[in-house]
Amino acid sequence: MKQNATGKASAIAPLARKAALAGLIPLLALASSSPAWAADPWPAKPLRLILPAAPGGSSDPTARLLAEEMSKRLGQPIAVLNRPGAGGNVGMAEAARAGADGYTIVLSWTGPLATNMALYKNPNFDSQKDFSPIAKVGCVPNIVAVNKDLPVETLADYINLAKSRPQGLTYGSTGTGSSWHIAGAMIQKETGAKLVHVPYTSPGVATTDLMSGQLESMLPLVIMMEPYVKDGRIKGLAVMSKTRSPVLPQVPSTAELGMPDLVSDTCFALLTPAGVPQPVIDRLNAVANDVLKDPNVKERLEASGITVEGGSADHLRDYIKSETIRQAEIVQAINAKAD
């Protein structure tokens, strides 16, 4: 009897071991296929925010403000890395290759995200395929600014004068494909006004020429014109947006003037390289929106001309898709090329 019991036990033991190993295999497979970020609570180390613009530029304070505030909420430092060049393409290409570990963020804007897709033959990245949206930060509209002695008081006056003159009206920009240039092309497309593009290498020189009368108009971002419009050295006829700008609330928007499609602005957005796990993107979106709702942050952004938006990742995705199509139409209409 003892021998039989021992024999049975010996036969059962290998089967039990096999069953235990069989149950372990799926667990081991799951563990080996889990991404590295799942091993530790995210974020477990410092992050970096790539800004495809030079230090000290107009977008630099925005990037540093967002990095500082997001860092407080994430509990990890966020270093801002400036990567200027080729209208933002250099920094965007670097960010696209950064990998999907969840530790790289990029702050970009309409130019690299939409305009450059048509303006450059090969920007070395695809704004829709190579990135996952986090959240839209907000937008700064262009403004229709004219010499104070130009015989116009409204946007309608400006358009009618440009149509009536055989030579049209001059408008300055910071170069081919710039937001100033695109804004002028949009006015021509939407209204039939004749505008003559005068490219400048320096916005300061363009502003000086506008005040002296050598240039009749220009269409810069509203924040640039704030002091000049406020003291009467330049006339602001309209901001090219759905709503008025917080920095020049006395200037009407094109939408309220009956031109809802005449919108030209620079919108800022936060993104990650494509492939970052959805839980990380969801956390970044929640943190970004919390930052943008902060009254102090909102006040500082509005002081720089940004109308704060926020919202879902899908909201930003839809914006990039539709704006890329719209910008391509304008770039093709004016036959603009940057390379």
Whether 118 has a pLDDT exceeding 90, the answer reads: yes
Average confidence (pLDDT) over 28-33: 40
Question: CA 219, CA 221: separation in Å to the nearest integer?
Answer: 7
pLDDT of residue 2: 44
Question: Are the CB atoms for 78 and 46 separated by under 8 Å?
Answer: yes
Whether 71 has a pLDDT exceeding 60, the answer reads: yes
Render pLDDT for 153-178 as a digit per residue (tens, 0 to 9).
999 999 999 999 999 999 999 998 89
Whether 26 has a pLDDT exceeding 80, the answer reads: no
* Confidence band for 81, pLDDT divided at 50, 70 and 90: very high
- Pick from 64, 220, 199, 242: which is nearest to 142 by CA? 220
The pTM (predicted TM-score) of the whole model is 0.85
Render pLDDT for 3-16 as a digit per residue (tens, 0 to 9).
444 444 444 444 44
Report DSSP state, residue 53. S
How far is residue 26 from each of residues 17, 23, 83, 166, measured CA to CA in Å?
15, 6, 44, 78
pLDDT of residue 40: 61
Render pLDDT for 122-147 as a digit per residue (tens, 0 to 9).
999 999 999 999 999 999 999 999 99
Render pLDDT for 191-225 as a digit per residue (tens, 0 to 9).
999 999 999 999 999 999 999 999 999 999 999 99
Q: Parallel, antiparallel, or unpaired: how do β-strands 143-147 and 217-218 relate? A: antiparallel
pLDDT of residue 261: 92
pLDDT of residue 157: 98
DSSP assignment of 121-136: S--SS-TTTSEEEEEE
pLDDT of residue 338: 84
Render pLDDT for 268-326 as a digit per residue (tens, 0 to 9).
999 999 999 999 999 999 999 999 999 999 999 999 999 999 999 999 999 999 999 99
**What average pLDDT is seen over the chain?**
90
Question: CA 45, CA 43: separation in Å to the nearest integer?
Answer: 6
Q: Parallel, antiparallel, or unpaired: how do β-strands 143-147 and 234-239 relate? A: antiparallel
Burial class (CB in 10 A: 0-12, 13-18, 19+), 121: exposed
In sequence order, the β-bridge partners of residue 143 are 239
3-state secondary structure of 138: strand
Render pLDDT for 236-262 as a digit per residue (tens, 0 to 9).
999 999 999 999 999 999 999 999 999
Report DSSP state, residue 111. I
